[in-house]
Amino acid sequence: VDFPAVGVVGGGQLARMMAPAAIGLGVRLRVLAREATDSAAQVVPDVEVGDERDLDALRRFAKGCDVLTFDHEHVPTEHLRLLQAEGVVVRPGPDALVHAQDKSVMRARLTQLAVPCPRWAVVSGIDEIRGFGDDVGWPIVLKTPRGGYDGKGVRLVESAEDAASWLESLGPGASLLAEERVRFDRELAVLVARSPHGQAAVYPVVETVQVDGICREVLAPAAISEEHAVSAQSIALRIAEGLGVTGVFAVEMFDTAGGVVVNELAMRPHNSGHWTIEGARTSQFEQHLRAVLDLPLGETSMTAPHVAMSNVLGGEIADMYDGYLHCMAHDPGVHLHMYGKVVRPGRKVGHVTTVGEDAGDVRARARHAAAFLRGDSDGTAE
Ligand SMILES: Nc1ncnc2c1ncn2[C@@H]1O[C@H](COP(=O)(O)OP(=O)(O)OP(=O)(O)O)[C@@H](O)[C@H]1O
Ligand SMILES: [Mg+2]
């Protein structure tokens, strides 16, 4: 009864998946959700419905929580600073969180920390875009600094003209983050947990496979050299320390011939860590709760030599229950996770995980299950 209460701002699938971890630990989980029908609001009894951009709603919610944490990063830092001043414990704190909210701020800070990044510049007009592209070579990548997800807000542009209409649609005075286009062999993610005490734990480096800007698959461990893996992990730990992150923290990276390069940061449990529910000794959701409560962290080693996670994206079929039955019957080793979300084409509505001895086998089985749920009836179309 005296165990602490963790308040999660946001009612998405990440908050939802913290619930079983909280039950196991015996801590109370509270959720601030926009709608009573949100993914986490369906399964967590202690829900407040409110908008996290409304300071009063946030303040009311925080009253019943020993620590405030997040399901997503889109919470105004000025609200969080006020709450902190009123004595609310916010983890990660606003000074760290801003680096996951604003990609331009993130690039500037990582450059200060001497973390390898693509060449970058903040640009605010067509001439600056042209200048940057001529300098680093075309094509370049342009990003809206704030509010992007699943590749929305990211464009590969071949020329300044190519960027013109987009820039115009953003309105006068808009600035963009321009990046050199990195030629990578694969995309990686490193998950770290860090507690207010400064204890840190790092998970094995994973490969993330993106299709049309959306994460499709995660493969653990990534098939990379020991040298690149160690370097990726130490970069992630260095950033967590440098930014004073508390909680679970994910660093997306590019693996290149010349070494690893950082793409972006997330300060919460992350899609690249869903595999840890069955695939690691401590899931990222339990680890996040431990970290924000300043408890000792759990073991991060894998439960099997190989783990694969496939996201279940919405397809044309709104009712996935038929495919769901098939998946269970076809392969009793597949772990299915559904988020209680309405199916819309391309929307992440669940994920599946397989663990085993063989990398190719676990990947094929996870893919098959995810494709089948989506409605690709032979389970092979990707
Ligand atoms: N500088 C770059 N060079 C090459 N490819 C890039 C670069 N930046 C981004 N990409 C590609 O675009 C994808 C999306 O970029 P980014 O992760 O910045 O956007 P996002 O919308 O915030 O993503 P998320 O879905 O992770 O929130 C990356 O996973 C990568 O495939
Ligand atoms: Mg990304």
Q: Convert the pLDDT of each residue in 293-303 to its tens digit.
A: 999 999 999 99
Q: Say if CB 280 and CB 221 are below 8 A apart.
A: no
Q: Look at residue 382 and tell me whether its pLDDT is greater than 50.
A: no
How far is ligand 2, taken at its centre, from the CA of residue 152, in Å? 10
Percent helix, strand and coil across the chain, each to the nearest 5: 35, 30, 40
Give the pLDDT band of residue 381 (cuts 50, 70, 90): very low
CB 215 within 8 A of CB 311: yes
CA of 29 to the centre of ligand 1 (A): 32
Ligand nearest to the CA of 150: 1
Q: How far is CA 24 from CA 21, 175, 183, 251, 266, in A?
A: 5, 45, 43, 27, 25
CA of 327 to the centre of ligand 1 (A): 31
188-236 per-position pLDDT tens digit: 999 999 999 999 999 999 999 999 889 999 999 999 999 999 999 999 9
Distance CA(182)–CA(247), nearest Å, equals 29
What ligand has the least distance to the C-alpha of 254?
Answer: 1
Tokens coding 259: 């070494």
Give residue 379's pLDDT band: very low, low, confident or very high (50, 70, 90).
low
Ligand 1 pocket: which residues have CB below 6 Å?
A: 118, 141, 143, 148-154, 179, 181-182, 187, 210, 213, 252, 263-264
Whether the CA torsion 59, 52, 88, 3 is positive or negative: it is: positive
Distance 149 CA to ligand 1 centre (A): 9
Ligand 1 pocket mutation, candidates 132, 138, 141, criterion most atoms within 8 A of CB: 141
Instruction: With beta carbons less than 8 A apart as the criterion, state whether 9 and 71 touch.
Output: yes
pLDDT at 142: 96
- The number of the ligand 1 atom at minimal distance from the alpha carbon of 252 is 17
The confidence score (pLDDT) of residue 48 equals: 98
Q: CA–CA separation, 366 vs 309, rounded Å?
A: 6
Q: Could you report how far apart the first and last alpha carbons of the chain are, in Å?
A: 48
For the cut 80, the answer to whether the pLDDT of residue 58 exceeds it is: yes
> Would you say the C-alpha torsion 229, 184, 244, 31 has a positive or negative sign?
negative
Mutate which of 72, 208, 260, 264 for ligand 1 pocket (most atoms within 8 A of beta carbon): 264
Residue nearest to atom 16 of ligand 1 (CA): 151
Pairing, β 186-194 against β 176-180: unpaired
